[in-house]
Amino acid sequence: MMKKEDLRIVYMGTPDFAVESLRCLVEGGYNVVGVITMPDKPAGRGHKLQYSPVKQYALEHNLPLLQPEKLKDEAFIQALGEWKADLQIVVAFRMLPEVVWNMPRLGTFNLHASLLPQYRGAAPINWAVINGDTETGITTFFLRHEIDTGEVIQQVRVPIADTDNVGIVHDKLMMLGGKLVTETVDAILNDAVKPVPQEEMAVVGELRPAPKIFKDTCRIDWNQPVKRIYDFIRGLSPYPAAWSELVQPDGEAVVMKIFETEKIIKSHQLAPGTLLTDGKTYIQIAAADGFIGVHALQLPGKKRLKTDELLRGFRLTEKFRME
């Protein structure tokens, strides 16, 4: 049996979520022979090129690094082949062409932040919270042609509390993901893997997708029931943040991001989006079957504030409305 020090691993990932798994491999004594991450991106006012979190970690630990623009580029394929990987691991990266995922003799596995086959796609954590799920999880699976459809190796289930936002769930899954990645490598080393085709797995209810989230996706519809709006807001908090237009008495509108809320179930005759406030301590917004109590929010160009902090510096009356 091969030892973990001899197993040549290539790791692929980009955001913070992917750093924890790489850290667990490096600190666990696994042989990471190379790291692949996205090219540097311009960020901020000066458009200074910014390293991905995975690149930052790789540089700090002197790990060989590739940042291909195109994953089918011949020079990249050749450089990847020279690393002679036995196994490739993908965490929050890009869709790989077959020439890449089929290269190592032991294959390529992916860590996905859902209980596959549920929530295939780019934003599984957001959609699980938006949809009001009470459970999610992480899955390792072997890569195949169709995205997020390969045979499942291992899964870990994680409860979602009614007060959890996507940031909290993200961090839980990230920490558990690092452990699951090393456990999956160990299982492959010990020849103890019995992968299960996703079509053979029991699923409760319908399969839900997890498409990429855009700005328009994040707009709040106040015609929805309170619970749906509450879940929608926490499923986008702290990032990218749910938003609505705050329409002023003169008709001018500004975008207001909303981060923390409470559910107030109460019958009323007000139009959805009607705003109730004492101008000092609370903001409540009418929904179909009650109100959303707003606890933390942000105006354009300002920092995120608690409701009472914002009301001290911004004159808000019940003549305003949300659309």
Please enumerate, by residue number, every residue annotated as part of a binding site: 114-117
Produce one character per residue of 99-118: b if its CB has 16 or more CB atoms within 10 Å, e if not: ebbebbebbbbbbbbbbbbb
**Which residues belong to the annotated binding site for (6S)-5,6,7,8-tetrahydrofolate?**
114-117
Residue type, 65: L
Residue 278 structure tokens: 């004492």
Burial of 43 (C-beta count, 10 Å sphere; 0-12/13-18/19+): exposed
End-to-end CA distance of the chain: 63
Produce one character per residue of 261-285: b if its CB has 16 or more CB atoms within 10 Å, e if not: bebbeeeeeeebbbbebeeeeebbb
- Spatial CB neighbours of 177, under 8 Å, sequence gap ≥ 6: 17, 20, 21, 91, 111, 113, 138
Measured CA to CA, the distance from residue 130 to residue 165 in angstroms comes to 9
DSSP state of 271: P
Stated as kind and residue range, the H or E segment containing 306 is strand 305-306
Using CA of residue 109, residue 113, residue 119, residue 122, what is the dihedral sign?
negative
* Residue 298, strand partner residues: 257
- Do 165 and 132 touch, CB atoms closer than 8 A? no
Stated as kind and residue range, the H or E segment containing 232 is helix 226-234
- Do 32 and 11 touch, CB atoms closer than 8 A? yes
DSSP state of 190: T
- Do 66 and 33 touch, CB atoms closer than 8 A? no
